[in-house]
Homo-oligomer: A and B are copies of this chain.
């Protein structure tokens, strides 16, 4: 088995996912390096903050520089200088959300490249081939993600395709050293979620993702769906909530048995100036920080938070200095990685409770 449960506490789980490039300790926050590049931090900074696995995106790398080039240069690990575990997204979500000119059929998706305007047709088999070429340790089935709210017909159609494409993804997958995860769709409709899970379980994926959540539904419906889905997923497989990362969401989803997370919120907020701290998120452009000599976050784990004053960080954003985005992204990513790491520790040493965790969230 590639996944071991180490501890459970009040519904939260701590585990280890074994991969070809090392162990991943769950629950875990996975920084997003879409084009095999974090925006904007060096790989050794990811090592310093204790990141164990990072994400890249099959769609973006297929378009540029090309998955075959990455394969020829030794795969993502060698190409990008990160020798620890990688996870690649299948590209489905990006095609549906980024490519305007797309046509979805039962066979796959037609879209136009924003890089050079060329037309492409991507089937589940193509996504898996691309991900085999990129060589990540965890790869994802090709699925159809529906933004909410959506009509019941839309959700049902997407679930049917997701089931069919999951089977085709598994059949196309050629590398034993990569874990292929299945993805559960179905919006906030429990019956559709059930239908998806029932069809996926016989395929025996080494891990399952909760897809199609945090895409427009209200928060309580999202959390209820997490509970409903997790109750039916096997205990001995990791559960990955795709695309969520606010501290409060991490806390609440870990409490409901989710093991893996990714989100661009750390780097995106880092560029705009909203920084996570142990006191909650702060908008560093706010004039109240102009003369604030307090360190950004003296109690936090990030060296940015301990070294730089709020007045200085404020100055960087107000002056449009690139260093603001750089420090902010580094700080936020460090914060999120460490935030989940601390929750993991508390699950293992038995001090975890949902209340204790919630109080430090935002």
Q: Name A's B-contacting residues (CB within 8 A).
A: 35-44, 64-65, 69, 72-74, 78-81, 290-291, 293, 303-304, 307-309, 311-312, 315-316, 318-319, 321-327, 330
Q: A36-B315, A41-B326 are in contact. List 5 more A-B contacts (CB 8 A).
A: A35-B315, A37-B323, A39-B322, A65-B290, A69-B311
- In the complex, A80 Cα to B316 Cα: how many Å? 10
A38 to B321, CA, bound (A): 9
Point out the residues of chain B lying under 8 angstroms from A330, CB to CB: 42
Bound CA span A78–B324, Å = 17
CB–CB B315/A65 < 8 A: yes
Say whether B319 contacts A40, CB under 8 Å: no
**Alpha-carbon separation in the docked complex, A232 to B100 (Å):** 69
Of chain B, the residue at the smallest CB distance from A295 is B81
B315 close to A44 (CB less than 8 A): no
B323–A73 touching, CB < 8 Å: no
In the complex, the answer to whether A323 meets B41 with C-beta atoms within 8 Å is yes
Chain B residues with Cβ below 8 Å from A309 are 73, 78-79, 81
Given A291-B72, A311-B79, is A35 in contact with B325 using a C-beta cutoff of 8 Å? no
Contacts of A69 in B (CB 8 A): 290-291, 311
Chain B neighbourhood of A311, CB < 8 A: 65, 69, 73, 79
Is the pair A81, B308 in contact by a Cβ cutoff of 8 Å? yes
Q: Are B321 and A35 closer than 8 Å at their CB atoms?
A: yes
Contact of A316 among B37, B303, B325 (CB under 8 A): B37
Q: Which residue of B lies closest to A304 (CB)?
A: B42
